[in-house]
Amino acid sequence: MLEVRGLGIRFGGLHAVQNVSTALTPGHITAIIGPNGAGKSTFFNLISGFYQPTSGSIHFLGEDITRLRTHEVVGRGIARTFQTTTIYKELSVLDNAMIGHRVRTRAGVLDALLRTGRERRDEAASRAEALRALKRVGLSDRAHLPAGALTQEGQKRVGIAMALASDPKLLLLDEPAAGMNPEETVNLMGLIRELVGGGLTVALVEHKMSLVMGLADEIVVLHHGQKIAQGAPADISRDPAVVEAYLGS
């Protein structure tokens, strides 16, 4: 589904991601793990068009998307959430999800926020898509509350709804369980499983090993920007190179 070959990016002298090749299987949950600073978020930034790679290629459903811009990548069917919450707390849950939908239809979030004429014409379509996304994350009954009034978990769900509102085929989640207690983490795992059951493919970056081991079909391990292992959870947890990377960090 997603195929990455020899992917790399340098920031000055630092190889944040170096020569990474991997492929994501449709309908699978792939976890990207590795010590802090391993290049996990950068890897997502490369796939989603926030950063331009200095080497390598990215293909999605057979198309070369290596040089596409962020909204073009979203238009192809790849959406993401961010490590830090990026919802608009003073806007309603529904408005947040609608902004997520507009990112697919054009580049301008500004358009959406300012409600230009062009914007109003698309409002009905955005609203319908946004409501569908809220239903998928279990927030239908909170659509008209300010997003900031929701719990930490609720706000994470809003972030996921924003991504789902673009109707992606592949969803990238960057540390979705950060700041969640064990119960919320279990709820989130259930949600991710449901989404995959509905046909979505998921790649996630996560530190919580209970979530990774309980959820992932496959694990990719990054260390100092390089892929040091890939495989099923049971094999990864026994891989000497992986154990050493974590112990040594």
Residue with smaller CB distance to ligand ADP, 10 or 59: 10
- Contact between 79 and 50 (Cβ < 8 Å): no
Chain-centre distance for alpha carbon 156 = 12
Residue 42 found at the interface with ligand ADP (CB under 6 A): yes
Bridge partners of residue 221, in order along the sequence: 33, 229
Calpha distance 171→38 (Å, rounded)? 21
What HEC string does 63-98 produce? Answer: EECCCCCHHHHHHHCEEECCCCCCCCCCCEHHHHHH
The footprint of Mg ion on residues 174-213 (CB under 5 A) is none
Residue with smaller CB distance to Mg ion, 143 or 163: 163
Residue 11 found at the interface with ligand ADP (CB under 6 A): yes
Residue with smaller CB distance to ligand ADP, 37 or 75: 37
Given candidates 22, 41, 126, 166, which one binds Mg ion under the rule CB under 5 A? 41
Count of residues that bind ligand ADP according to CB under 6 A: 11
The footprint of ligand ADP on residues 79-138 (CB under 6 A) is none
Residue 39 found at the interface with ligand ADP (CB under 6 A): yes
b (16+ CB within 10 A) / e for 20-52: bebebeeeebbbbbbbeebbbbbbbbbbbbebe
Given candidates 24, 29, 31, 38, which one binds ligand ADP under the rule CB under 6 A? 38
Q: Look up residue 144 and give its two tokens.
A: 């008209």
Q: Which does 114 bind (CB under 5 to 8 A by kind): ligand ADP, Mg ion, none?
A: none
Residue 222: partners with Cβ closer than 8 Å, 6 or more residues away: 17, 20, 32, 33, 34, 38, 39, 40, 43, 228
- Contact between 220 and 191 (Cβ < 8 Å): no
Given candidates 2, 22, 24, 40, which one binds ligand ADP under the rule CB under 6 A? 40
Closest approach, Cβ 38 to Mg ion, in A, equals: 8
Candidates 35-43, 144-152, 194-202, 231-239: pick the segment binding Mg ion (CB under 5 A). 35-43
Q: Is 145 exposed, middle or buried (0-12, 13-18, 19+ CB in 10 A)?
A: middle
Residue 126 found at the interface with Mg ion (CB under 5 A): no
Bridge partners of residue 3, in order along the sequence: 23, 59
Q: Which does 173 bind (CB under 5 to 8 A by kind): Mg ion, ligand ADP, none?
A: none
The footprint of ligand ADP on residues 160-199 (CB under 6 A) is none
Residues in contact with Mg ion by CB under 5 A are 40-41
Under the rule (CB under 6 A), what is the footprint of ligand ADP? 11, 14, 16, 34, 36-42
